[in-house]
Amino acid sequence: MKPERAYDELRRFQLETAYYESLGALAAWDQRTYIPRKGHAHRARQFAALAQLLHRRRTDPRIGEWLDALEGSPLVADPESPAAVNVREWRRDYERAVRVPEKLAVALAEAKSEGESAWESLRAKNNWTAFKPYLKRLLDLQREYAEAVGYETEPYDALLEDYEPGERAERLTRLFDELGAATRRLLEGILGSSVRPPTEVLHRDFPVATQREVVHEVTAALGYNLEGGRIDPTAHPFELSVGPGDVRITTRYYPDYFNAAFFGSVHEAGHAMYEQGLPAEHWGSPMGQAVSMGVHESQSRLWENMVGRSLGFWRRFYPLVQARFAALAGVPLEDFHLAVNAVKPSLIRVEADEVTYNLHILIRFELELALFRGELEVDDLPGAWNEKYRAYLGVTPPDYKDGVMQDVHWGSGLFGYFPTYTLGNVYAAQLFARAEAELGPQEPAFERGEFAPLLEWMRKKIHAHGRRYPPRRLVEEATGEPPTAIYLIHYLEDRFGALYDL
């Protein structure tokens, strides 16, 4: 078969698979937003049936035949061309897929759906005992999956590969050692400071209807195209791309707390802007896909924190917010800005400040490693969780829902996902530093309401490349040097040193 024909047939086949996947994404969004309570069991069976269909397509022997006809041909001679990138990444995906038995793929899909539904209802009831069987089943299946796809050093690396290709537990351990030490030094200084942020101003009356209006206006101003998206309430915020022109985000509202919906929405809008910036003409192929969750998180964390918690941003938006919420009448901008940047060790990861956030991720990383190394059992997880929270953050969860059950990830079988949050912080700081070097200081632009230059820089340097480069290479191409934690450390020291008079 001629390479051109092989590529056309492979491209059409993979595009059809992508349409099935997008229908699954729509079902996943529905499950986490508006599905009737009694519909979860049927949805799990739907996901199992879809997983069987997708597994058969992803392992279709014709994919291997098409790839054989393409590899080494002139069509893929330029390794950075869209055709070459697609062929390389399709080969990677195919080789991983064929190692997973169909029975395991279907069981995982069903267990993930059931686990997520169970988490949503059982967390609210603080019922760890009832949730444990779901978690144990998912852990067993993920261990089986890791053995099936293979690894060089340890099972956890096989899971990392699904979210951050090329990343390894050994390198992450070194990163967390460096970042953890710097974080503890900074946190010690902050806790010893006489500065006391007036965080009580964030815990007043914030009508949910008004919050909805504000988050729609602000995320649109940042660049989230709401004509191709929507914002809905959910138990755990997320972004989900159904396809070109349909990239959705969710948030959760508290009538007596400002931060959750506002910063959660900006965070998810960062994810959505990445998806909206991917080349639509390459949708359904690797060139039209995000390269990794770490890079994805770099976009969400950058917009949430480096943009959304900056003084320039609030000089622009505080008059709007203050005018909408009577609870903020008389609260000076400087007090509000200090409050939204307050640093305090806490229980809840998604509400954690920038300084302590990576300690939350470190805890989950260490627990996941212990689980997959056989050093920790699910029955002992709550005790290990509480012990690490006391040691690293000086707080102890009063119950399961705000402790070991607080995140949806384990209930969804997403082991290996958590480290990408910290990688996202590392990448974001490095990317933002380079963007400022090329565009100039961004806070004056934010104050003027000019967010498009930064978004366009990200579109050019990150979004447009899809999976052209592996994640670490992509960051290096964008910034001129390999990923390093030093930019994040300096960013945190500079911002919070100034806020806390260190």
Q: What residues are labeled active site?
A: 268
Length of the chain: 502
For residue 440, count CB atoms less than 10 angstroms from its CB and return exposed for 0-12, middle for 13-18, buried for 19 or more. Answer: exposed
For tokens 């949430």, what's the residue? 304
- Rounded Cα–Cα distance for residues 450 and 428 (Å): 19
Name the β-bridge partners of 247. 241
Asked whether 15 and 284 are in contact (CB, 8 A), the reply is yes
- Rounded Cα–Cα distance for residues 461 and 257 (Å): 36
Name the β-bridge partners of 249. 231, 239
- Rounded Cα–Cα distance for residues 290 and 284 (Å): 11
In sequence order, the 6+-apart residues with CB closer than 8 A to the CB of 221 are 317, 449, 451
- Rounded Cα–Cα distance for residues 112 and 369 (Å): 20
User: What burial letters (b/e) apply to 459-481, b meaning 16+ CB within 10 Å?
Assistant: bebbbebbbbbbbbebbeebbee
Of the candidates 191, 352, 368, the one whose C-alpha atom is nearest the C-alpha of residue 263 is 352
- Rounded Cα–Cα distance for residues 125 and 400 (Å): 9
How many other CB atoms sit within 10 Å of the CB of residue 59? 18
Start-end of H helices in 278-376: 293-301, 311-324, 333-340, 354-372
Q: How many CA atoms lie within 13 A of 418 on its CB side?
A: 25
Of the candidates 329, 299, 330, the one whose C-alpha atom is nearest the C-alpha of residue 457 is 299
Tokens, residue 7: 């590529």
Of the candidates 301, 261, 247, the one whose C-alpha atom is nearest the C-alpha of residue 487 is 301
Torsion of CA 163, 461, 82, 28, to 10 degrees: 40
Name the β-bridge partners of 243. 246
- Rounded Cα–Cα distance for residues 201 and 373 (Å): 45
